[in-house]
Amino acid sequence: MTHEDFMREAIELSKKNVENGGGPFGAVIVKDGKIVGKGANNVVTHTDPTAHAEVMAIRDAAANLGTYDLSGCTIYTSCEPCPMCLGAVYWAHLSKMYYGNTKEDAAKVGFDDAFIYKEMELPVDKRSVPAERILGEEAYKAFQMWDENPDKIKY
């Protein structure tokens, strides 16, 4: 299969998802020329604000491959990822990404995540969701435990 074939799979997932009451987003993950993970936007159907197509495809691929490290895999997503999904792409160590619609295309139909990018640039105390640090020293103990653990698995 070609890159275009895999992208068409992602696009078809997005279209079928709309037909089933979900959002217009789909994604597939490919390793060694085979689809190892699929996902569609299930925010409404799963009542889960993190159930974006890319995240669902990453979860599916990780489960199917038995690993959290998706190095060597490529994601084909029907739309340029939002900040959360882009972060997930990096955390999963995906090696390459192809996308169909742009974030500007998404904004035109009501999926505008520009405000999140703007919020991320602001100092914590200037963001629209109030945030306050508490128990920092206590919380840091878990980091110290992790740092000192010779058997930790880095990810």
What does the alpha-carbon distance between residue 120 and residue 116 come to, in Å, rounded to a whole number? 6
CA dihedral 106, 98, 89, 11 (to 10 degrees): 60
Predicted local distance difference test score (pLDDT) of residue 139: 97
Mean pLDDT over 26-44 rounds to 97
pTM, 2 dp: 0.92
Kindly tell me the sign of the dihedral angle through the C-alpha atoms of 86, 89, 92, 94.
negative
Predicted local distance difference test score (pLDDT) of residue 154: 87
Query: What residues are labeled active site?
Result: 54
pLDDT-derived band at 12, boundaries 50, 70, 90 = very high
